[in-house]
Structure 1
Amino acid sequence: MEKKNVCILKLLIILITMLSIILTYIPISSAASSTKIIDIVEITDLHGYLYNTVKMQDRSTLKQQIGAILANEIKKIKNSNPNTIILAAGDMFQGTPVSNILKGKPVIDMMKNIGFDAMTIGNHEYDWGIDAVIDTKRKTLKNSDIPVLGANIYDKNTKKIVNYCQPYVVVNKANTKIGIIGVVDNKEFPNIILPAYIKNVEFKDPVFIVNNLARKLRSEGVKIIVVLAHMGGYMNNNILTGNIAEFAKNVKGVDIILGGHTHSVVNTKINGIPVCVANCQGKGYIHIKVKLKNGVANVVKQEYVDITPLFNISNPPMDKEVLEVIEKADKQVSRKFSKVIGTAVSDITREQRAKPYGDSALGNWATDAIREFAHTDFAFTNNGGLRIDLKKGPITLGDIYQLMPFDNTIVILKMKGSQIKTILEEAVQDNGKGIQVSGLTFKYDMKKPSMNRVYDMKMSNGTPIEMDKVYTVATNNFMATGGDGFKEFTDPSVAKTYTDTYKLLRDVFIEKIQKQKELKPSLERRIFSSDEVSLSLHGYLNESMLIMK
């Protein structure tokens, strides 16, 4: 009887031990299965930079395989975690010969190969006409399943979202719904896109739209909400400024905001929300890790990863499949664009010689080329239209396609001196974008009220510009239709004189280089700020006093 009791006791101990092990194991297993890691990768403003040819100090050239390197780095993340989301915030195609000539096809092929989940439209996606890179029926990039987003882009006629964008997509990763809402900068877009392309488009305030969509998506079981915005800002003393900062301060119910447009690096938080911008031209990417535990999402890592150190090393790590895509595209265009058409005696740059607005050596050369072609009194071009500096040494056809990637034409107008003054005022107004000029000089005083800063306007020969006299003006069709905030060009009295030469600026530049053969930077000053005028006068007076002594 005693032995039986001992056996029963031993059996009970074994059962209790096993039960204890089971009870201990179950919560651990449950906790482990309820914790998920989701990786989110963003790039923006690639501008067609699948590769870049750099002139080295020894005058040799180095071909940086940007697209293949970028693809390799992103795929490493994706291969380590199948629950990875890859996003683009717009301006992916316009900017290099290999992309421009092939209308973005090699960039889309790269994005397909990597496996992008969505892209928000950028302002430069309009440059070739909206259907050049977008399948408007499917609202995806052409020949792909990559959704194109733009929740705040509305058709003025239908009062609905335009037919080429989706407001959002929901991606399922690790059995979790992640919502991607796409928006654009409603303050910038109306002024920086060729007006003809957006005449029936309204860019609405994205805050109200995002807040409503966030509530909708939460009600449908979405656990993580990402806003993918072609909207940007800048870090100043660790403080984010710009339109994306204002947007972030006012949105509710979102977990992450990924931006673009400003070609800047942003990696910060506003009201606890990660706000990031991933630079430009494939120089790096944003990498965010989200830990999802029991339905609650927490960002456990956010960083900007700079991959430029990989560009200049021998045998950089590259993705072979994407490299094949790029090399195939390159062969299609390289013979044409490697042709040398002239030589730069020294660097000809966009550096402005007055602050905050001034003329540049490249701007002077470009506007002179426009004025010479059009045989006008004056010529203007916008700073944003000149995309690269011309470096010392041979200038190829490909260089000029990078300098002027846009298919803008030269337009001739007739304007009174008072209207020309308004154009210059618009250039140096609060939040103005500056201007490059030929045939005239002017001064401005930033201490004066906006739109009342320009004075001492003179023709290049020193003759004062008369307010009531009519002059001929040449510019590009982007500016001539109100682009970059130059609304005075659209004044009815000016617009009725609008004559499009249908001559591409790019072709004018190419012809001028071929004629000149050698380019030298122009050192003349055309735009002066009152501060530097005062400093010059102060220096002159001091020098005079020393002479008198």
Structure 2
Amino acid sequence: EVGFFGLTTEETADISSPEAITFDNYIDTAEERVKALEALGVDKIVALTHIGYDDNPNYDNDQLLAEVDGIDVIVGGHSHSKLSEPVEVTTDENGDPKDPTVIVQAGQYGDYLGTLDVEFDDEGVVVGYAGDLIDVSEKEANAEAAAALEKYTSKIEDIRDEESGAVATEAFPNPRLEDGDEISVRNSETALGNLITDGMLDKAKEYNPDTVAAFQNSGGIREAIDKGPITIGEILTVMPFGNTLATMELSGGEIMEALEHSVSNAPKESGGFLQVSGLNYTYDSSLAVGERVQSVELNVDGEWVELDESATYTVATNAFTAKGGDGYDVFANAYDEGRVTDLGSSDWENFRDYVAELGEVTPVIEDRIVDVASEEE
């Protein structure tokens, strides 16, 4: 018999908006599930996980989960890792030998269909396996299924292909480390992040002219924009969560605290890494967490001035981040104190209107965010 149990990341509390839900430690839970299944006589155990292959170890990930004795297979998600072949773990948390655990994950967005065959001995121990990723784009659509979906896909295509009125003179990438890029949207300034936050700041100023800066969590930027006409489908794919724009009244000290949190995991990736507009800063990823930010400048009334930690500033972000999403306790505190105003303006619609007004947009990196440790290397 084969037993299955599931795990989702404890980070959900920070990266989503769960209410009245608590998350237990994933290692403890996995050990309990293994014991419960073994008590039923099950000796082939599969964990279906959404905790990430190599995600932040301060929360959870599949490689650490694989150290739990008794789990034979982990079919993972969350980190969108493209594991071209299965990964085998044969040691526990102490580095001592254990029965093998095989980890698989098939990338993102249904680009690949993963296959896995596993051979067990009479004791339920993995003694052989073979896995592969099938590139779905190379396969022909099933004619019967495609016909059944036509009444839906035709409507989707109408929206997807509608042009916003803006044109990208060059592609706006959305790099990730696992794609082989040296930088990631989740650890570095990107041209797309600049464009999005510029639009946020522009819209926020319509409501409150005193707004000086805008922040966008990089986990909310999901895809790239191709060269050519920017379509509604592209915009919705880039920003699919339907967040609204919000403004916050923050002290300079609170802004500093937020920026420290933004770079706390760098140069590793973090969905909470902030893309910025109206603000430039440098940090040193080689220093201790909480002591990394070196300099911060804000564009106030057209002039770049040094951040005053005792002054009060109006900044814009999306409502998810403003409420403390991605672990921004400093923003959550401002929200609880009534210093956040949700403007009710949809993020993707703001972006659509902003680029349409510009007409042509060109990718630009402006050294808004600079890791001085990387420059020294």
Query: TM-score of the superposition, structure 2-length normalised?
Result: 0.83
Aligned equivalent of 1:190:
13
Deviation at 1:485, TM superposition (A): 2.1
Deviation at 1:247, TM superposition (A): 1.3
Q: Is the 8 Å Cα contact of residues 354 and 528 (structure 1) preserved in structure 2?
A: no
Deviation at 1:209, TM superposition (A): 2.2
Q: Is the 8 Å Cα contact of residues 443 and 454 (structure 1) preserved in structure 2?
A: yes
Between the aligned partners of 1:471 and 1:494, the Cα distance in structure 2 is 17
Deviation at 1:293, TM superposition (A): 6.7
Aligned equivalent of 1:210:
30
Aligned equivalent of 2:329:
487
Deviation at 1:222, TM superposition (A): 2.8
Matched, 1:362 2:192: yes
Matched, 1:256 2:73: yes
Between the aligned partners of 2:335 and 2:229, the Cα distance in structure 1 is 44
Structure 1 segments (4+ residues) deviating >3 Å? 290-300, 350-357, 430-433, 492-495, 531-535
- Secondary structure of the corresponding residue to residue 218 of structure 1: helix
Deviation at 1:308, TM superposition (A): 5.0
Matched, 1:304 2:146: no
Matched, 1:415 2:245: no
Q: Is the 8 Å Cα contact of residues 290 and 298 (structure 1) preserved in structure 2?
A: yes
Amino acid at match of 1:226: V
Aligned equivalent of 1:129:
none
Aligned equivalent of 2:112:
284
Superposition CA RMSD, Å: 2.5
Aligned equivalent of 2:44:
224
Deviations 1:387-444 (CA, angstroms, capped at 9, x unpaired): 1111111111111110111110011110011110111100111365421111111111
Aligned equivalent of 1:521:
363
Deviations 1:419-470 (CA, angstroms, capped at 9, x unpaired): 1011110011136542111111111112221111112211133211111111
After the TM superposition, which residues 93-108 of structure 1 pair with which residues of structure 2 at under 5 Å, given as runs?
none
After the TM superposition, which residues 114-125 of structure 1 pair with which residues of structure 2 at under 5 Å, given as runs?
none
Deviations 1:77-131 (CA, angstroms, capped at 9, x unpaired): xxxxxxxxxxxxxxxxxxxxxxxxxxxxxxxxxxxxxxxxxxxxxxxxxxxxxxx
Between the aligned partners of 1:232 and 1:360, the Cα distance in structure 2 is 23
- Secondary structure of the corresponding residue to residue 210 of structure 1: helix
Q: Is the 8 Å Cα contact of residues 278 and 304 (structure 1) preserved in structure 2?
A: no
**Residues 299 and 507 (structure 1), Cα distance of their counterparts in 2 relative to 1, 3 Å cut:** farther
Query: TM-score of the superposition, structure 1-length normalised?
Result: 0.58
- Secondary structure of the corresponding residue to residue 484 of structure 1: helix
Amino acid at match of 1:378: A
Aligned equivalent of 2:162:
339
Amino acid at match of 2:279: L
After the TM superposition, which residues 312-391 of structure 1 pair with which residues of structure 2 at under 5 Å, given as runs?
316-341=139-164, 342-351=166-175, 357-375=187-205, 376-391=211-226
Amino acid at match of 2:307: I
- Secondary structure of the corresponding residue to residue 365 of structure 2: coil
Deviation at 1:309, TM superposition (A): 6.0
**Residues 448 and 207 (structure 1), Cα distance of their counterparts in 2 relative to 1, 3 Å cut:** closer
**Residues 325 and 478 (structure 1), Cα distance of their counterparts in 2 relative to 1, 3 Å cut:** farther
Between the aligned partners of 1:495 and 1:533, the Cα distance in structure 2 is 39
**Residues 297 and 287 (structure 1), Cα distance of their counterparts in 2 relative to 1, 3 Å cut:** farther
- Secondary structure of the corresponding residue to residue 203 of structure 1: coil
Between the aligned partners of 1:462 and 1:527, the Cα distance in structure 2 is 15
Where does the alignment leave 5 or more consecutive residues of structure 2 unmatched? 91-99, 177-181, 206-210
Q: Give percent identity, aligned residues only.
A: 27
Please identify which structure carries the higher helix content: 1
Amino acid at match of 2:346: L
Higher relative contact order (CA 8 A, sep 6+): 2
Deviations 1:338-359 (CA, angstroms, capped at 9, x unpaired): 1111211111223599788332
